[in-house]
Chains A and B, each alone.
Chain A
């Protein structure tokens, strides 16, 4: 089974802190994704990566950056956390750039609270 793990289930940070969220997958997937999930809005894509050291902006990249130094690991960075970044963050991975229907496998999520 594919396993996607995230470094923390719950995280509390203060405004202005730099925050790192880590995600690791164990199935040699090329693609990795970071979403945030807010009530009534579903999941919104922040950034994704289709290869090591490659990244693409999603729908809501402002205030975030990412790093992918190894194929299995994809980090989300909040350079200066703000209260409006309080949310559930979900990491996902999938196989490469094949045609439609590629399933994404999700981690358990990190609930981040910024005070």
Chain B
């Protein structure tokens, strides 16, 4: 079975500084990986996804993630944090169950951005 570990439950950064949210996965084959973001009182929104194309994936709002098979990692980064980035972020791996793709969610990382 596949699993996802988000290494930090909370991350706090200052506005304008880089963001790093860490994610490790376990998978028996080449996985599909996603990052979703959830702003307060909102549903989940897809930030970016990796599906075995380029290992560096660019998403919305200046976020990007790099798939590193040797490290089984899919860390999310952004060069410069903005106040509006404060939210909860979920790393997700897709698991094949017959013809259906099940999403396995990490526990989430809450990002705080300070002025």
Chain A residue nearest to B4 in the complex (CB):
A42
A42/B101 contact (C-beta < 8 A), A103-B46, A106-B45, A108-B42 known: no
Chain A residue nearest to B49 in the complex (CB):
A101
**Contact present for A106 and B44 (CB under 8 Å):** yes
**Contact present for B108 and A109 (CB under 8 Å):** no
Interface string of A14-25 (1 = CB under 8 A from B): 000000000000
Compute how far the CA of A22 lies from the CA of B71 in the bound complex, rounded to whole angstroms.
41
Report chain A residues within 8 Å CB of B101.
Answer: 94, 97, 99-102
Chain A residue nearest to B105 in the complex (CB):
A42
B-contacting residues, A56-115, CB 8 Å: 56, 90, 92, 94, 97, 99-104, 106-109
**Contact present for A100 and B100 (CB under 8 Å):** no
Is B115 interfacial (CB-CB < 8 Å)?
A: no
Chain A residue nearest to B102 in the complex (CB):
A45
Is B32 interfacial (CB-CB < 8 Å)?
A: yes
Chain A residue nearest to B44 in the complex (CB):
A106
**Contact present for A97 and B100 (CB under 8 Å):** yes
**Contact present for A31 and B44 (CB under 8 Å):** no
| B: contact size bracket | 20 to 34
Is A12 interfacial (CB-CB < 8 Å)?
A: no
| Among candidates B9, B43, B94, residue contacting A4 with C-beta atoms closer than 8 Å | B43
**Contact present for B43 and A104 (CB under 8 Å):** no
**Contact present for B43 and A90 (CB under 8 Å):** yes
Interface string of A40-51 (1 = CB under 8 A from B): 111111001010
Compute how far the CA of A56 lies from the CA of B102 in the bound complex, rounded to whole angstroms.
12
Compute how far the CA of A104 lies from the CA of B45 in the bound complex, rounded to whole angstroms.
9
Besides A41-B107, A100-B94, 15 other A-B contacts (C-beta < 8 A): A40-B9, A42-B107, A43-B105, A45-B102, A45-B103, A56-B100, A97-B99, A97-B100, A100-B32, A101-B51, A101-B94, A102-B101, A104-B103, A106-B45, A108-B42
